[in-house]
Amino acid sequence: MSSGWPAWREKNDGVIAPDERLPWPQTVAMGAQHVIAMFGATVLAPLLMGFDPNVAILMSGVGTLLFFLVVRGQVPSYLGSSFAFIGVVIAASGYAGQGPNTNLGAALGGIVACGAVYTLVGLLVSVTGTGWIERFMPPVVTGSVVAVIGLNLAGIPIKNMAPTGFDAWMQALTFLCVGLVAVYTRGMLQRLLILIGLLLATLLYALLTNGMGMGQPISLAKVASAAWFGAPAFASPVFDARAMLLIAPVAVILVAENLGHLKAVSAMTGRNLDAHLGRAFVGDGLATMVSGAVGGTGVTTYAENIGVMAATRIYSTAVFVVAALMAVLLGFSPKFGALIQTIPLAVMGGVSIVVFGLIAVAGAKIWVDNRVDFADNTNLIVAAVTLVLGTGDFTLKFGGFTLGGIGTATFGAILLNALLRRR
């Protein structure tokens, strides 16, 4: 891949490379699917931290466009709310778990500081190259970290998005719908498997609840009362030293996530994207700073969208520009936010099961494509311990700083690999 801007040559079938695109109507449809894929987590993360979801949606679009400009359109990635911030933001702000975060400013200051550290790492990589990072994060580490992101998130749909027995069955129907679309359709329907599966499951849910009274019915009252256009609730950061020290170290997790995502995209596309790694770090870091500066969450390259790419084999960066522009528009539409929130929790949970599973498989694909030798006990121990730390959400506390499952798995993989390789 060249270092210039992509030409986006039109292609109608097969694998669509980053510098190619489908016809524009299909590209727009694919962009909508990526918006849907990112929406659940991008809205859920700010709700868990007491942030405004519409700001998060808006800044996911702005951040993705900024990332696109920094990497010159060479890396297909979508930026959305990072779950790595949840634990440290709650610890730094003392958020009680309900309603708006009353200490939002301090959390935002920490997010901006984290973005600054992340950006500096990216500049360093741009100057010194990727060798030192790859020594600390070989394929066994990056594959494990990517897999852990999906496995760590698995508890969200299983434990939190199916409060009743009916909801659990609806989750099963939802991932069955996605699976049937993936296997038994062809062409554009198959490429839109996540979106089509979600719509089919929502129709089934409406039939069973609104039509047959079997569960909580779908209500459009909030959609009807919401305004078409309106500014989200922006907020300003407060630079508190304690909050900054708590939140800034998340940059290490973001580096590992982004490296893993880039390796996953490289494996899927068959193109070496290592030359763009420094720019990818800088783009993600700047997007996190901009988001935190106006009241948004810290952002990261989104594994959900990598899952969609893995399923559709469409890697065109044009799709992500379209998705980002949609997110910007939707961030200013309370009515759309209300409409999306009418999607039943169980249906979104079923889709999440599929997407998070695809993330975990993308991590395993890194191992396969790089021929990681699990007869080597170092690789075996690093992968085994990392997977269990992340999946079990192993947590460590250092004074007021809490490192959750993704963090302990990330640092554990890096440190174990460095220690055991010394032999």
| The pair of three-digit structure tokens given for residue 17, joined into one six-digit string | 């490379």
The type of residue at 183 is: V
On the question of pLDDT at 253 being above 80, the answer is: no
**DSSP single-letter state for residue 298:** P
pLDDT above 70 (res 401): no
Q: Which residue from 41, 49, 47 is spatially nearest to 351, judged by alpha carbons? A: 41
Domain assignment present for 196: no
> What integer is the mean pLDDT of 383-395?
90
More confident residue, 43 or 333: 333
CA distance 210 to 224: 17
Task: For residue 195, tell me if it sits in a domain.
Answer: no
Q: Where are the alpha helices (DSSP H) in 94-138?
A: 104-128, 131-136
Helix (H) / strand (E) element for 81: namely strand 79-81
Is the Cβ–Cβ distance between 148 and 83 less than 8 Å?
A: no
Residue 1 — pLDDT band, cuts 50, 70, 90? very low
Tell me the per-residue pLDDT of 175-202, one tens digit each, with 9 for 90 and over. Answer: 899 899 889 887 667 766 777 888 899 9
Statement: residue 302 has pLDDT above 50: yes
Beta bridge partners of residue 398, listed in sequence order: 401
| Region 36-63 average pLDDT | 83
Are 4 and 16 a contacting pair, CB within 8 Å?
no
**Which pLDDT score is estimated for 147?**
84
Q: Is residue 244 helix, strand or coil?
A: helix
How many structural domains are present in the chain?
1
25 part of a folded domain: yes
Query: For position 381, what pLDDT does the model report?
Result: 94
| Range of 80-89, 297-306, 412-421 with top mean pLDDT | 412-421
Examine the pLDDT at 3 and tell me if it is beyond 70.
no
**Is residue 224 assigned to a domain?**
no
The reported pLDDT for the residue numbered 243 is 84
Over residues 98-128, the pLDDT tens digits come to: 568 888 999 999 999 999 999 999 999 999 8
State the Cα–Cα distance between residues 363 and 389, nearest whole angstrom: 15
| Average pLDDT along the chain | 85
Give the residue-averaged pLDDT of 220-231. 84
Q: Decide if 210 is inside a domain.
A: no
Would residue 213 count as lying in a domain? no
pLDDT at 247: 84
Q: Tell me which residue range forms the domain holding 245.
A: 9-160+231-421
Backbone angles phi, psi at 339, to 5 degrees: -65, -45
pLDDT for 2 beyond 60: no
Domain annotation covers residue 167: no
| pLDDT at residue 316 tops 80 | yes
Strand ranges inside 189-292, DSSP E: none
- What's the first-to-final CA gap in the chain, in angstroms? 37
Domain for residue 248, yes or no? Answer: yes
pLDDT in tens, 354-374: 877 877 887 888 788 888 999
Average pLDDT over residues 260-264: 81
